[in-house]
């Protein structure tokens, strides 16, 4: 049986303890070594700060609300549908879309780390990565929802999806009442990041 | 026993604090730590399971006290030394001691968008026949541990171990983290979404009919 030595091997302690200095020290060494291009780091940050984020997911949700064939295809097999829209990439290679209804409310967590559908929602928010959310979402999802101001109607079951593999989940929230005349852009503006994780509801007019 | 990262169902963590949608990072070094980790991934020295395991191997005290991206940067430093990309002396001195054979693999700024868009799919051509079909009743493995490597990586959370479940869907055949995290091969297996009833995993469920769904590999499952 192979033995795992990693418990006894933590060279990170050789770096400065302050995290900002730690990151800078590592970047400096790696740059000098020719292993990192600082401009590539700027580019990665720009992608996730400015180009990939919850607007992508909101556009998908709004289209699903207005286009029944699109919605059916999305729920049946999301990958080809999303790839066709250009929403593919790191941490979104295998997507499943789950639909909230009157009877079922879906909610997504990663109890073991912080798995999240990056191409559709961007980088996860701090609370999604927090110990409190990771620990509690599976045991007491209704209490967690209450902390987001969400109370479910009587008789609505909760389904919590723990992202333990490379499948990433997007919640298709319920379309708010009073939005029947709205076009896809106006609808997308009502779709928050939190409601696509299942910790919110789409915003009513 | 389990590691500190396996916290599903734990008590005592306090409230979840929602945040405005436009808050992405809480300090300037957070995005830098994220980008540094992603860029180093391109050197090809490890896979995603190795990197997850490196974070899980932080001492429980460090795992608990480190902020999220502190875990990332500590695990990154550990991996760079373990794989020989950097020496312990270089970490300690803060200076590079010569160049690197790996410099040709450096992620260039112009390649970033393409690399992120390409992703890293985990499905593989299926060679193992799925033992289970949607609707089948199963039992999750009793021990939330790696069965091949003592103290190794697994994606079976402790709160779910040993519970009865029902197969909801077959996702396809996916790389097995328990093997891949230890460079023992991808060992792809059928991967299923498995439904657990809250009443079967918690002594005091909010509602016994609520459900938790996990994605689990064939070898995590047993006949009921």
Substitution target from B215, B217, B218, B221 for chain A, most A beta carbons within 10 A = B215
Minimal C-alpha gap between B1 and chain A (Å): 13
CATH of range B29-118; options 3.30.365.10, 1.10.472.20, 3.30.1330.20, 1.10.3720.10: 1.10.472.20
Average pLDDT, whole number, for chain B? 96
pLDDT at A9: 77
Between positions 138 and 157 of A, the ones with CB within 8 A of B are 138-144, 147-148, 157
- Sorted by sequence, the CB contacts under 8 Å of residue A136 that are 6+ apart come out as A143, A144, B10, B13, B16
Query: Rounded to a whole number, what is the distance in Å from the CA of A180 to chain B's nearest CA?
Result: 26
The stretch B184-213 carries a mean pLDDT of 97
Segment B136-194, tens digit of pLDDT: 999 999 999 999 999 999 999 999 999 999 999 999 999 999 999 999 999 999 999 99
Is A110 assigned a catalytic role?
yes
Query: A21, A33, A56, A83: best mutation site toward chain B, by most B Cβ within 10 Å?
Result: A33
| Res B1 pLDDT > 70 | no
The ipTM value here is 0.97
Please give the helix or strand (H or E) that residue A167 lies within, else none.
strand A167-172
A112:B67 CB<8 A: no
Hey, where are the domains in chain A? 15-50, 53-197
pLDDT score of A2: 40
Is the pLDDT at B84 greater than 70, yes or no?
Answer: yes
> Which of A110, A163, A195, A199 is an active site residue?
A110
**Chain A residue closest in CA terms to B87:** A11
pLDDT at A158: 98
Sign of CA dihedral A192, A135, B188, B126: negative
Residue A172: predicted pLDDT:
98
- CATH code assigned to A53-197: 3.90.330.10
The pLDDT value given to residue A7? 41
Give pLDDT, residue A135. 98
Q: Are B150 and B137 in contact (CB under 8 A)?
A: no
B137-222: CATH architecture: Roll (2.30)
A139/B193 touch (CB, cutoff 8 Å), yes or no: no
CA distance A22 to B78: 13
pLDDT score of A6: 41
In this structure, what token pair is assigned to residue A164?
A: 């333990």
Residue A189: other Cβ atoms inside 10 A: 14
| Percent of chain B topping pLDDT 90 | 97
What DSSP string describes B5-62? Answer: T--TT-S---------TT---SSTHHHHHHHHHHHHHTT-S--HHHHHHHHHTS-HHH
Q: Give residue-wise pLDDT tens across range A75-99.
A: 999 999 999 999 999 999 999 999 9
| Cα A80 from Cα A182, distance rounded (Å) | 27
Burial of A157 (0-12, 13-18, 19+ CB in 10 A): middle
The beta-carbon neighbor of B209 closest among A43, A136, A157 is A157
pLDDT digit string, tens, across residues A5-17? 444 479 999 999 9
Annotated active-site residue A114? The verdict is yes
- Provide the H-helix boundaries in chain B: 29-41, 48-56, 60-65, 68-82, 88-93, 112-118, 177-180, 198-201
> Residues in chain A with pLDDT < 70?
1-8
The yes-or-no verdict on residue B124 having pLDDT over 60 is yes
Closest CA to A126 of B60, B189, B18: B18
**Domain spans in chain B, listed from the N-terminal domain onward:** 29-118, 137-222
pTM of the predicted structure, to 2 decimals: 0.96
A147 contact residues in B (CB cutoff 8 A)? 15-18
Mean pLDDT of B31-53: 98
User: Quick one: pLDDT at residue A5?
Assistant: 40
Direct distance between the N- and C-terminal alpha carbons of chain B, in angstroms, rounded to an integer: 24
Average pLDDT of the segment spanning B104-130: 94
- Of B73, B67, B64, B11, the C-alpha closest to B39 is B73
Split at pLDDT 50, 70, 90, the class of B89 is very high
Residue B128 is predicted with a pLDDT of 83
Binary contact (B88, A158; C-beta < 8 A):
no
């Amino acid at each position: 049986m192979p033995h795992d030595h990693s418990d006894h091997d933590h060279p990170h302690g050789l770096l400065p303890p302050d995290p900002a200095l730690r990151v800078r020290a590592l970047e400096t060494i790696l740059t000098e070594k020719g292993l990192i291009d600082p401009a590539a780091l700027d580019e990665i940050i720009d992608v996730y700060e400015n180009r990939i984020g919850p607007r992508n997911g909101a556009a998908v949700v709004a289209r699903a609300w207005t286009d029944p064939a699109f919605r059916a295809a999305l729920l049946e097999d999301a990958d080809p549908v999303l790839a066709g829209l250009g929403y593919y990439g790191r941490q979104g290679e295998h997507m499943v879309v789950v639909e909230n209804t009157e009877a079922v409310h879906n909610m997504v967590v990663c109890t073991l780390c912080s798995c999240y559908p990056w191409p559709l929602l961007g980088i996860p928010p701090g609370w999604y990565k927090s110990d409190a959310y990771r620990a509690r979402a599976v045991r007491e999802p209704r209490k967690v929802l209450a902390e987001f101001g969400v109370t479910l109607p009587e008789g609505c079951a909760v389904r919590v999806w723990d992202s333990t593999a490379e499948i990433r989940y997007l919640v298709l929230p319920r379309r708010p009442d009073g939005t029947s005349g709205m076009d896809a852009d106006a609808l997308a503006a009502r779709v928050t990041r939190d409601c696509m994780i299942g910790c919110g509801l789409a915003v009513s007019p | 026993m389990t590691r500190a990262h396996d916290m599903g169902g734990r008590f005592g963590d306090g409230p979840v604090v929602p945040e405005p949608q436009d808050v992405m990072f809480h300090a300037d070094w957070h995005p830098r730590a994220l980008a540094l980790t992603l860029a180093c991934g391109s050197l090809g020295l490890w896979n995603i399971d190795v990197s997850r395991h490196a974070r899980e191997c932080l001492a429980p005290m460090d795992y608990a006290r480190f902020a999220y991206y502190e875990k990332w940067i500590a695990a990154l430093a550990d991996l760079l030394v373990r794989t020989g990309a950097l020496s312990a002396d270089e970490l300690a001195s803060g200076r590079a001691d010569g160049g690197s054979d790996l410099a040709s693999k450096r992620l260039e700024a112009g390649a970033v968008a393409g690399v992120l868009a390409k992703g890293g799919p985990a499905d593989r051509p299926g060679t193992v026949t799925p033992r289970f079909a949607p609707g089948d009743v199963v039992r999750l493995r009793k021990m939330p541990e790696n069965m091949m490597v003592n103290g190794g990586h697994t994606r079976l959370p402790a709160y779910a171990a040993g519970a009865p479940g029902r197969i909801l869907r077959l996702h396809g055949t996916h790389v097995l983290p328990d093997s891949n995290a230890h460079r023992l091969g991808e060992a792809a297996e059928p991967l299923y979404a498995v439904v657990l009833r809250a009443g079967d995993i918690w002594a005091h469920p909010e509602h016994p009919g609520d459900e938790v769904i996990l994605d689990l590999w064939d070898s995590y499952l047993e006949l009921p």
